[in-house]
Structure 1
Amino acid sequence: MSIKLIATDMDGTFLRDDHTYNHSLFAKVFRQLERHNIYFVAASGSSFPRLQREFKDYTAKMGFISQNGSVIHLGSKLFKSFPINQESLARVIHVLDRFYGPQDINQLVISTSEKSYVDQGMSAHDFNIVKLFYENVERIPDIRQIFTQRPTEDFTKISINFANHIDLKKVTTTLDGYLPPSLIMENSGFNTDLIGNAAATKQNALSLLQSHLNLKANEIVTFGDNENDLGMLAMTSQSYAMQNAQPIIQMQAAHTTTIDNNHDGVLQTINQLIKNER
């Protein structure tokens, strides 16, 4: 069975828990992917600038699905994005303010395809965490006024990192009944929910790339560890949940890696798949 494309989630999947990866092993694997004409795609809830930093030596030869599918790049070129209309954005902020206070939300991040914004009152600790996942981040005087202050910008995602005392399952139950039908909310791990255009999922983004590259489903390999990866994992018979993923995620993938994310599970599995292709 030939492989033409490999798409992998990042945090908890491709990356170790300290958000690093084995660069020397990746260089060897990437050369093998090029030799076999296999396209490599990083699929993440975080931003394209962050992914571009992680793969700065390979950007031109890769694909990127960022913000959980809201933004798609082929190399450095924007392929597709799914903006949220201003009315829906304002509705999200209104609903959040109705049910949650400052003590309930650690980080509120509002992003375009290339840039992210946070409130100037965000603590230095939280700002540094946001910078890790979003890279190109700007503080503004009042995040809740961003839509009126920047009416011409196309916003693509709202990220809410809730405090540890907040139960995300209850968040989903609470917010689902109030969000506009044009929006979707997905858990991205780390007690974080991402809200964006209902069409903006990793599964839909990967489907667009599949169509663009004229690929069959069984020519695609996917890796993931979390709820927001399930659609992508369901697309192909060559899907892999990580060994470190929750059992419910593993049950919905075709395979489970024998090695976890902290020991190069994705790269080791790709190595074996390439050997099997010979």
Structure 2
Amino acid sequence: MTSATEQSAPVAPRLIATDLDGTLLRDDKTVSDRTVRALAAAEKAGVEVFFVTGRPARWMDVVSDHVHGHGLAICANGAAVADLHAGGRLLKIRALEREAALDVVHTLRAAAPGTAFAVELTTGIHYEPGYPPFHLDPGATVAVAEKLLHEETPGAGAPVLKLLAQHGELAPDEFLALARGAAGERASFTRSSPTALIEVSGPGVSKASTLELCCAERGISAAEVVAFGDMPNDVEMLSWAGASYAMGNAHPAALAAATGRTVTNNDDGVAVVIERILADRARNLAER
């Protein structure tokens, strides 16, 4: 892997895909003035910017003030595409089937006793009594997973974007490996939290697969995409993009997947690379 100053990004990248927490956002969940300027400059130069995150659309207020032209975000690890110009309206949904979610619940309970679950629907999140409460979602229903996933009539309930599984004793990577080994053929498993919190999506659903769909709709190839990330839920996206950068604070799996490395999120690592890309672009145009 090369550093941000050594790796060559595409001469004419058409899209920048960036994770938020631990990547674009500083640890205090703010976007620096330098990063705001870099994002605006990229779009002014004709490069689209996609926010690609594990967050649900309703938690995108951290960047909604910095949305420029397109206003699209890939949320919930690829399970939804939201229009941030329209208050987070969901344009694309790649749901986890409730039967598959229940199967994962039962499998993980047996494989890792003490696991607690939450269910992220298109309408909001709900969780079991043993799951750490979401203070950003005070209206959540608290009940066992079977009740949270129950539908009176099949297909009548809100789509499930992802299932979350939390364990209070296992190490984060150990829990992820255990879950993948126990039920990996039934769903997609990843994590983005420093704790033992697993995020479960439908089979084949990831940041990368949804980004690929969005790019195909725009006639953009992987070679024309520059991606940024820091955690296991970014691995597929970092591997898919033509050029990709793991943050200086990244998880080893993200570092291994990326083609380059930049400085930490607190040091504006995304902005550092965007500035260099735009400078190279301007220089190439001047030399023509």
Which category describes the TM-score, using the shorter chain as reference length?
0.7 to 0.9
In the TM superposition, what whole-angstrom CA distance separates every residue of 1:30-81 from its partner, at most 9, and x where no partner exists?
Answer: 3312211111111111211112x11222447322111111112244443321
The one of 73, 78, 100 equivalent to 1:88 is 100
| Residue aligning to 1:138 | 139
The one of 9, 17, 24 equivalent to 2:19 is 9
| Residue aligning to 1:38 | 47
Residue 157 of structure 1 pairs with residue 138 of structure 2: no
Deviation at 1:120, TM superposition (A): 5.9
Partner Cα separation in structure 2 for residue 49 and residue 239 of structure 1 = 27
| Residue aligning to 2:6 | none
| Distance change >3 Å, CA 202–CA 141, structure 1 → 2 | closer
Secondary structure at 1:25's aligned position in 2? helix
| Distance change >3 Å, CA 118–CA 138, structure 1 → 2 | farther
May I ask how many residue pairs the two structures share in their alignment? 263
| Residue aligning to 1:167 | 171
Partner Cα separation in structure 1 for residue 25 and residue 75 of structure 2 = 15
Whether the 8 Å CA contact 2:55–2:76 is kept in 1: the answer is yes
Whether the 8 Å CA contact 2:222–2:240 is kept in 1: the answer is yes
| Distance change >3 Å, CA 73–CA 29, structure 1 → 2 | same
Deviation at 1:185, TM superposition (A): 0.8
Deviation at 1:111, TM superposition (A): 0.9
Partner Cα separation in structure 1 for residue 258 and residue 181 of structure 2 = 29
Partner Cα separation in structure 2 for residue 10 and residue 267 of structure 1 = 13
Residue 117 of structure 1 pairs with residue 122 of structure 2: no
| Residue aligning to 2:281 | 277
Partner Cα separation in structure 2 for residue 122 and residue 248 of structure 1 = 27
In the TM superposition, what whole-angstrom CA distance separates every residue of 1:126-160 from its partner, at most 9, and x where no partner exists?
Answer: 422xx2xxxx5632141420122575221110122
Whether the 8 Å CA contact 1:109–1:116 is kept in 2: the answer is yes
Higher alpha-carbon deviation: 65-74 or 192-201: 65-74
Partner Cα separation in structure 2 for residue 139 and residue 44 of structure 1 = 21
In the TM superposition, what whole-angstrom CA distance separates every residue of 1:216-248 from its partner, at most 9, and x where no partner exists?
Answer: 222211001122211111123321111122444
The one of 181, 187, 192 equivalent to 1:188 is 192
| Distance change >3 Å, CA 156–CA 246, structure 1 → 2 | closer
Deviation at 1:207, TM superposition (A): 0.3
| Distance change >3 Å, CA 26–CA 174, structure 1 → 2 | closer
Q: Normalised by the size of structure 2, how large is the TM-score?
A: 0.81
| Residue aligning to 1:57 | 65
Long gaps (5+) in structure 2? 1-10, 283-288
Q: Normalised by the size of structure 1, how large is the TM-score?
A: 0.84
| Residue aligning to 2:81 | 72
Long gaps (5+) in structure 1? none
| Distance change >3 Å, CA 34–CA 244, structure 1 → 2 | same
Higher alpha-carbon deviation: 26-35 or 169-178: 169-178
Partner Cα separation in structure 2 for residue 88 and residue 252 of structure 1 = 28
Q: How does 1:94-109 map to 2 (within 5 A)?
A: 94-102=106-114, 105=116, 108-109=117-118
| Residue aligning to 2:149 | 147
Whether the 8 Å CA contact 1:49–1:114 is kept in 2: the answer is no
Whether the 8 Å CA contact 2:126–2:141 is kept in 1: the answer is yes
